[in-house]
Amino acid sequence: MADKKGILYNEAAKAYFYGDCVSSIEPYGGGHINDTFLARTEKGNFVLQRVNGYVFPHPDEIMDNMVHVTKFLAEKLEKAGKDPKRGTLTVLKTNDGKDYYIDSEGNYWRSTINLENTTAYDFAESPEMLKKSGAAFGAFQNMLSDYPAETLHEVIPHFHDTPARFRQLMDAARFEQLMQAVREDKAGRLKNVAAELEFAKARETDCGLLMNLLEEGKLPLKVTHNDTKMSNVLIDNATGDAVCVIDLDTVMPGLAAFDFGDSIRAGASTGAEDETDLTKVHFSVPLFKAYTEGFLGEAGKALTETEIRTLPDGTKLMTFEVGIRFLADYLNGDVYFKTKYPQHNLDRARNQFHLVAEMEAKRDETQAVVDTYL
């Protein structure tokens, strides 16, 4: 751990009530975007997180969304006779009563109560675990069904506007061509992605399907999580039940199909999102069915018929969108996602596009699954 980073997280910890009794601070979790630490103290264990200012240029808006949504969820849980400090994140106030701390270098930090005796799994270890994660995100969708979505900040503009992502990808490609003469590494990367760009271009007309239905009033705007991967559900170590949905940075107005589709993107894949041996990567309809049972079992009553019918569209479009994001980041020099090696984002993009092709081939099967809930 770099000394400078250590100085900053110790400074941030002292902004909270537990700051004077910290025994250790260590990296925690495996998220792509923010720097997350576990502060072990005499008063309990707490999560301390530095918000990525490049990805989220308005951290104050993130915190405003997070505070209001978690308070809303806590009230719902309390009314249902459940423990709000176990069922949703609890945002801690700084010593001067604020929802976040700004350090000496302008970084934004926040802290939450650590939910003990829970585990965040990168992948579901069984269809039953995947079903339970689906139930967690379905309950999240259901509890927030009457939250005024229009009051939330759109912390990343056009985050799920797939046509905008496509335009970003095309802009990235044009930028690499423009800069080829002066930045040889960028030019080299562009030469590596001809097949991926062709794959993306062939599906450009698919991009606007869900957003067009929203504009036509056929799909309602909802509060959505927007990062519904398995690792964002904490599982109770003793019971195996889903406890809490975490990582609320991208809670924004959106479509239910976005949350459903992003879960399926990772949850119904038989391989990791950066698996390079694509013979190991397949879209599993049985896993799709397991997640659907959990999700619609909790959220079904809060969804319209059109929302349910278009869930398979969300599955394909979310996977395609994430592939575009990985590819655009590769072309832009890996400025968004954390990478472990130079080709990491390209491998991720190829993986996602492979899943898209399989989802297209199995569309009739997935449509039959969701149609049983109509």
Q: What percent of the chain is predicted at pLDDT more than 70? A: 90
Which pLDDT belongs to residue 190?
A: 78
Tens of pLDDT, residue by residue over 54-84, are 888 899 999 999 999 999 999 999 999 999 9
pTM score? 0.85
Which pLDDT belongs to residue 183?
A: 45
Q: In degrees, to the nearest 5, what angle opens at C-alpha 189 toward C-alphas 185 and 190?
A: 120
- For the chain, what are the domain ranges? 3-114, 127-371
Q: What is the mean pLDDT of residues 352-357?
A: 98
Q: Which CATH architecture has domain 3-114?
A: 2-Layer Sandwich (3.30)
Which pLDDT belongs to residue 9?
A: 84
Q: What is the mean pLDDT of residues 116-140?
A: 95
Per-residue pLDDT at 373 exceeds 70: yes
Segments in the chain forming alpha helices (H): 3-13, 59-79, 84-87, 127-143, 162-178, 184-191, 194-201, 209-215, 256-267, 285-299, 305-309, 311-331, 344-361, 363-371
At residue 174 the predicted structure's pLDDT band, cuts being 50, 70 and 90, is very low
Tens of pLDDT, residue by residue over 8-51, are 888 999 999 998 899 999 999 877 688 999 999 999 999 999 99
Which pLDDT belongs to residue 165?
A: 62
Bridge partners of residue 29, in order along the sequence: none
At residue 330 the predicted structure's pLDDT band, cuts being 50, 70 and 90, is confident
What is the overall mean pLDDT for the chain?
Answer: 89
74 contacts 94 by C-beta, under 8 angstroms: no
Tokens 């069915």 locate to 289
Q: What is the mean pLDDT of residues 175-198?
A: 59
Q: What is the DSSP letter of 144?
A: T
Q: What is the mean pLDDT of residues 117-129?
A: 94
244 contacts 87 by C-beta, under 8 angstroms: yes
Which pLDDT belongs to residue 218?
A: 97
Which pLDDT belongs to residue 46?
A: 96
Among 167, 151, 311, 351, residue whose Cα is nearest residue 228? 311
Q: What percent of the chain is predicted at pLDDT more than 90? A: 69
127-371 falls under which CATH superfamily? Aminoglycoside phosphotransferase (APH), C-terminal lobe (3.90.1200.10)
